[in-house]
Amino acid sequence: MRRIAKFATNPVVVALIASLAIAGCASKKTPNNAADLGLGGSAGAATPGSSQDFTVNVGDRIFFDTDSSSVRADAQGILSRQAQWLNQYRQYAIVVEGHADERGTREYNLALGARRAAATRDYLISQGVASNRLKTISYGKERPVAVCDDISCWSQNRRAVTTLSGAGS
């Protein structure tokens, strides 16, 4: 999954990634999904209410600007869709993972990941998700999804990922 942001400009690769996601090859940790690639409406194979449905059709992650934990305008739409889905499928407990890119020091980035997770959690709560369903964890810069030495990867690693637990998918 190297340099997905660059690949994603190529329509053939975008289609390939989307088809992989639809085929269920994409794990929860997959760096991109159809929604992130602007293909939210085209992927319909996942069972409604499944975690795959959440990841593929809603979008399980949002991205942040450098050194920021503010929820961007483009992320607000994703979180609103997440909240709507989570309010419909209440069997899930939710852990929001906060992550940072590698352009910071380890301890500070742990704290930054935690702040991003908290900002994401608070936004979901503001959209009606019950706070007792939500936990957060920070992985700092320790769990990148995209590995390269430039901004195309760093921008994908500055993320908060909403993960589901507590029910079968």
Footprint on this chain of other proteins (rule: CB under 8 A) = 1, 29, 67, 69, 102-108, 110-112, 114-119, 122, 136-138, 142-145, 147, 149
CB of 126 to other proteins, least distance (A): 14
* Three-point CA angle 37, 166, 69, nearest 5°: 45
Other residues' Cβ atoms within 10 Å of the Cβ of residue 154:
19
Cβ count near 36 (within 10 Å):
23
Pull the structure tokens for residue 79. Answer: 């979180």
> In the bound complex, what is the minimum distance in angstroms from residue 57's beta carbon to other proteins?
24
Which is closer to other proteins, CB of 53 or CB of 97? 97
With respect to other proteins, which residue has the nearer C-beta, 43 or 164?
A: 164
Residue with tokens 């999904």: 33
Shortest Å, Cβ 106 to other proteins:
6
